[in-house]
Chains A and B, each alone.
Chain A
Amino acid sequence: MLECRDIVLHREGWEFAADLDLRPGGRIAVIGPSGAGKTTLLSLIAGFLTPDRGRIAWEGRDLTAIPPGKRPLSVLFQDQNLFPHLDVASNVGLGLRPDLRLSRDQRDRVARAIADVGLEGFDKRLPASLSGGQQSRVALARVLLRARPILLLDEPFAALGPALKSEMLDLLDRIGSETGALMLMVTHDPQDALDFAHDTIVVQDGRCHAPQPTRDLLRDPPPALRDYLGRAFG
């Protein structure tokens, strides 16, 4: 269980609060207007922000004081998911060892992960020579290799076109099934939420509402969410 217990964070006249229990292996969308605190929620769980009050725990273990890299999670950002000066194999290999001193066996696993996301033979390419979709695949290969029980996604596919995006969501779906990770995905597209997530957290004015089944939520949105969506879905 991922617990966000009585979390409070103050930022220049703005307050963020969350109190959530998220089950392992769940798929949860995070939606809400921009500036409402979606990224803040992910940053708190990832450890980039430290709450002023409250605690974050995974399977009973308190994570609040643990640095981001030591937490049992992987993150995909909106952009800058790859180091531009490292080739594909190195960018993926960082998921196994942050100092890249990989054994032969580990290098084989890196190659398999790259092949697994459909990029066989791209090992030595630099990110700049890849398309946006291919770059996303490299980042996903790293997630696959890290195999952490929590995966945080901060609109990583927002810059991709609809076809590529659904391709990435399919790949993500497969990775989720393989690793059994709890996935938390920020999105501003209710269709993504419907396609991807059983449950959805609505974030509004710095408040996180408890996850509700996405289908019900979108079919009959509460007034505040209806203002944001413009219409009902489903």
Chain B
Amino acid sequence: MAARLFRLGAGPAIAAGLALLILGTLAAVAWQAEGLSGLSSWDWRAVRFTIWQAALSATISALLAVPVARALARRRFWGRGLLVTLLGAPFILPVIVAIMGLVAVFGRQGAINDALRALSLPEISVYGWQGVILAHVFFNLPLSVRLVLQGWQAIPSERFRLADSLGFAPRDISRHLERPMLQAVLPGAWLAVFLVCLTSFTVALALGGGPRATTVELAIYQAFRFDFDLSKAALLGLVQIAICVAALLATRWIAVPASFGAGRDDRVTWRGPAGWRQGTDALAIALAAAFLLWPIGAVTLRGLPSIPDLPPEVWTAAIRSVVMAVISALLTLAVALVMALHLARRPSGWVEGAGMLPLVASPLVLGTGLFILLRDVAGAQALALPVTVGVNAMMALPFALRALIPAARTMQQDYGRLAASLDMTGIARLRLLVLPRLARPVGFAGGLAAALAMGDLGVIALFSTDQPTLPLKLYQLMTSYRMADASAAAVLLMAISFALFWIFDRGGRLA
């Protein structure tokens, strides 16, 4: 029966179920929402802030990425490979941990303000809109650098040899080779960051708030959690969906590159120019590395010694989170695998579209919708953990599909006919062909899904629960100013997230 289902149409069935779940949830949100007149000027301010901060974060990330990527592209130095690999780490770094790090460096007790005070200069604040932008740049600068760096490495080295032989000065190289590349790459890189920042919740929750730094996602949370105004939350959810859909429509004209992937970096590039440009390149790399590593280093130094003193409820939360993350990752993998295998056999626009639907629905919108749908069945207390697991599994799906679909297509092309001619179907095909051939992308996708679920502080915050996940526990410690415990919990959360990714990814490589 299972084998039969697998062969006949588990792909479309699962895709239809997923689409039904997401669209049904959105429909519940729409049904609950009142007319747009329900939006106050405060809410419109949140809409404007959401778009404005996303645009500004994307612009700053893109501008700063250019010198860093250029320096990485044309210089070779010890630790360069490690640095490029580390640029991929923020994708699975829990947001709340990074926020702890930024507070440790840029907060009132941080090194920057200590220095400013010593120089009798005015202090800076990490809270408010500037904090939101700072955190977004922290997360997305590495992503932008990777995307722009890929652009640089995509320029054939023969071009640079030709430029060398023609005696091009750096200015000529820039005009003939680099600027055309940047014109092609930067819009996509900008849009990728813009999309990520549109649904920003945790950063706004921890660093923003108030009239001048509230995103729509945060407004949904406040309406749901503090006002318990479900129709307001639903209305804001609709606004959030509209913003995301509008932004995604832009991707029809501008291709958004995949926002992760192993840092392929085996190309021989050209000799960078000598002279003062060596100095500026070194500076760009050093500043970028410091900006990324310092906060993580600071929170690690602060938190590591306190780990043995962590209260037992933090450890309980950690175990709860690991179990939830693993279940969530396995759910993602099962759904993504069935859909990818189906797509490999026959391309189907709507099945692929269903897999990308989570990009339209933000976690908080899904959480609100699922609560509306299920509130008569169970209370918020009982719903908190299952809904969190489900939403996290859905949110990781687009990334898992992006990793699995190309691999599944290759497998189908290479071995589909051989397997068919030997009558390998169902479980035998899964065991002897699919899992061995797709072990690496399956491990990678599972690692991403597990790490994302582990670090997520989204849906769980909606529900008042006495069973917090580790990120929620960390946030609670932070807001009650137990900074030593919060730092230790942050180190723990970071270590577990990276360990989960490593175990899945490694497992896939060894299989």
- Chain A residues proximal to chain B, CB less than 8 Å: 46-48, 67-70, 73-75, 77, 80-81, 83, 85-86, 90, 94-95, 98-100
Contact = CB atoms under 8 A, between A and B. Distances in A.
Interface in B418-438: 418, 420-425, 427-429, 431-433, 436-437
B418 A80 contact: yes
Interface string B53-91: 000000000000000000000000000000000000000
Contact of A98 (B414, B417, B423, B437): B423
B420 A48 contact: yes
B168 interface: no
A98 B425 contact: yes
A68 B420 contact: yes
13 contacts: A68-B423, A69-B421, A69-B422, A70-B423, A74-B421, A75-B417, A75-B421, A77-B418, A83-B433, A83-B436, A85-B437, A86-B432, A94-B432
B421 A99 contact: no
A94 B414 contact: no
The interface centre, meaning the residue of B414, B421, B428, B436 with most chain A CB atoms within 10 A of its CB, is: B421
Nearest to A71: B421
B425 A83 contact: no
B415 interface: yes
A83 B433 CA distance: 8
B420 A98 contact: no
Interface of B: 414-415, 417-418, 420-425, 427-429, 431-433, 436-437
Ordered nearest first, which 6 A-B pairs have the shortest CB separation?
A: A69-B423, A99-B428, A85-B436, A98-B424, A68-B420, A75-B421
A33 B436 CA distance: 38
A80 B414 contact: yes
B48 to A, nearest CB: 51
Contacts of B422: 69, 94-95, 98
Given A69-B425, A83-B432, A86-B436, 12 more contacts: A46-B417, A48-B417, A68-B423, A69-B422, A69-B424, A70-B423, A77-B417, A80-B415, A85-B437, A86-B432, A99-B424, A100-B428
Contacts of B417: 46, 48, 68, 75, 77
Nearest to B424: A98
Nearest to B414: A80
Contacts of B418: 75, 77, 80-81, 83
A229 to B, nearest CB: 30
A98 B430 CA distance: 11
Contacts of A100: 428, 432
Nearest to A97: B428
Contacts of A70: 423
B509 to A, nearest CB: 13
Given A68-B421, A80-B415, A99 B431 contact: yes
A98 B424 CA distance: 5
A190 B418 CA distance: 27
A111 B429 CA distance: 23
B311 to A, nearest CB: 48
B314 to A, nearest CB: 42
A148 to B, nearest CB: 10
Contact of B424 (A46, A47, A77, A94): A94
Contacts of B423: 67-70, 98
B384 to A, nearest CB: 42
Contact of A83 (B415, B420, B427, B428): B415
